[in-house]
Structure 1
Amino acid sequence: MPLSRLERGDLTVVTRGVRVVTPPASLQARAAAFAAAMRREDHAFSHVTAAILWGLPLPTRVEGQSDLDVVWSTRRGRVRRDGCIGHRGLESRAVSDHLGLRVTAPADTWCDLGEVLRRGLTRDDLVVAGDAVANLLGTDPEAEPVHLMAESLHRRVRPRGKVMLTEALALVRPGVRSPMETRTRLMFHRASLPEPELNVPVMFEEGGWMLEGDFVWRRQRVIGEYQGAHHATIRQRGVDHSRRLLAEDDGWTFLELFADDVFTRSRRIATLTRLGATLGVPAGDLHLW
């Protein structure tokens, strides 16, 4: 292609050495364009960029960053390109081929989030992302997700954010299916309530499958269900009502939980007090805030 064609205004320069007819509309497309300008074996997408590519839930304030995180080997130094945030240490990270790109593996991606706490991540955000990583790693029946994440963290030499990562890892649990389920579970933890089983089958007293509960306290026969936006339709409300009746007819206490029960102080205190009484936790033993 002659230089005169490359300099025409209908082409967009994504990064040095790469031009496209249509500007990339997604982070994946932008990463693919940058990857075309770099030798494949020299780099991997990491940190926040890798987390988004893996589908890890992050706060909007963090997901909205414009620059791509790219890690190179220490001997080559940091990548220096407009639109990239360069990192070193590729040799100490596992790399996966994901979406046609070289991306740091899920456990290492989670560890790297400790380096970007200044972008607005909290410990709860790390637990939310950690639950998602544990689910990704848990697709292998032989895997122990939290153990694999701990191994990745322990391989690092003086990693940034290690204290907060270690605290968050102790709270990571496989089996959570949404960020709000994680935040609801953390609410129970802070209140010193017994830890529930997560998304497990509940059987009828006489045997046979009844339902799958988000939060199950089997000994106390209590089921907690987080009702997200997809539960708002009339059809889904009907399904939820039938499940509740089945559980209550079989002697279970069935509690519906909503976002305001987590984020609004008055609702949170009322919810935790009610749940504590149902679980047999004395009011004086609850930590309310």
Structure 2
Amino acid sequence: MELGAADVLEVAGVPVTTVQRTFLDLAQLLSLDELVAVGDQIVCEHRRSFGPPKVAMVELDELNAYLAGHQSARSIRRLREAMGLVRVGSDSPPETRLRLLIVRAGLPLFVPNCELLDDEGNALVAPDLSCEEYRTCVEYDGDHHFTPEQHGKDHDRDFITASLGWRQVLVNREDMRFGGRAAVTKVARMLVQAGWPDPKNIAGTSLLGLLGTRKDVA
């Protein structure tokens, strides 16, 4: 394997491949959606007006420039497709998967971690995914949301979101089963309440007991 200066760095005195090079090498091993999830984590950054900032491992433009210089690499076509789906702001692989489900279902555009503002222009919350057109947002509640401390913070988040006039959909791991049917339908039904015309009647999809009873349905 030939490695250039931009491919290697030292960590605690040990030579390792850079984040960019590692991402390039992973293209031979991972599926498209897995690559998108990794790409999202690499470029994720937050420069919000509240909370601590988060710095990207590699900024999106820099990662794209690096990959553009390796057009003869194996699986570069899959990488280009993945980079077309990578977005700045997704904090976790489940959030990435949820965003991809929403895109592929044909729902309106949702943006990761967009700040919601009050009437004075103050940013109060930043949901995982937000659709400005229909003032609808989605939060993915992973396992860490079930600690008492986080539960209290989430109650505050939900109250603030509602007070700003936004509709909120809460999605969890169970909603993501069976191809994410419950998650997509939940979001679609909330969008319809907000005025989305739903031309394909996604909100009318039968959940076959997926809500409430959580029966195992193939």
Which one of the candidate residues 11, 35, 38 is aligned to 1:126? Answer: 35
Maintained 8 Å contact 1:131/1:174: yes
Q: Larger Cα Rg: Structure 1 or Structure 2? A: 1
Taking only the aligned residue pairs, the percentage that are identical comes to 28
Q: CA distance change for structure 1 residues 232 and 254 in 2, over 3 Å: closer, same or farther?
A: same
Which one of the candidate residues 267, 274, 282 is aligned to 2:182? Answer: 267
Maintained 8 Å contact 1:261/1:267: yes
Q: CA deviation at 1:168?
A: 0.5
Matches for 1:160-239 after TM superposition, within 5 Å: 160-239=74-153
Maintained 8 Å contact 1:146/1:169: no
Q: CA distance change for structure 1 residues 166 and 209 in 2, over 3 Å: closer, same or farther?
A: closer
Q: Say if 2:57 is the partner of 1:148.
A: no
Structure 2 runs not aligned, ≥5 long: 46-53, 206-218
Aligned partner of 1:238: which letter?
G
1:213 match: secondary structure = coil
Maintained 8 Å contact 2:89/2:112: yes
Maintained 8 Å contact 2:128/2:137: yes
The one-character-per-residue Cα deviations of 1:36-91 (angstroms, maximum 9, x if unpaired) are: xxxxxxxxxxxxxxxxxxxxxxxxxxxxxxxxxxxxxxxxxxxxxxxxxxxx1113
Aligned partner of 1:109: which letter?
T
Distance (Å, rounded) in 1 between the aligned partners of 2:96 and 2:74: 24
Aligned partner of 2:34: which letter?
D
Q: CA deviation at 1:154?
A: 2.2
Q: Say if 2:16 is the partner of 1:103.
A: yes
Q: CA RMSD in A?
A: 2.8
Aligned partner of 1:179: which letter?
P
Could you say which residue in structure 2 is the equivalent of 1:280?
196
2:10 match: secondary structure = strand
1:231 match: secondary structure = helix
Q: Which has the higher contact order (CA 8 A, sep 6+)?
A: 2
Distance (Å, rounded) in 2 between the aligned partners of 1:279 and 1:113: 42
Distance (Å, rounded) in 2 between the aligned partners of 1:281 and 1:94: 49
Q: Say if 2:55 is the partner of 1:139.
A: yes
Q: CA deviation at 1:191?
A: 1.1
Aligned partner of 1:220: which letter?
Y
1:284 match: secondary structure = coil
Distance (Å, rounded) in 2 between the aligned partners of 1:207 and 1:155: 42
Q: CA deviation at 1:200?
A: 2.9
TM-score (norm 2): 0.76
Q: CA distance change for structure 1 residues 218 and 153 in 2, over 3 Å: closer, same or farther?
A: same
Maintained 8 Å contact 1:276/1:283: no
Aligned partner of 1:127: which letter?
V
Distance (Å, rounded) in 2 between the aligned partners of 1:126 and 1:279: 34
Structure 1 runs not aligned, ≥5 long: 1-87
TM-score (norm 1): 0.59
Distance (Å, rounded) in 1 between the aligned partners of 2:33 and 2:195: 25
Distance (Å, rounded) in 2 between the aligned partners of 1:170 and 1:269: 21
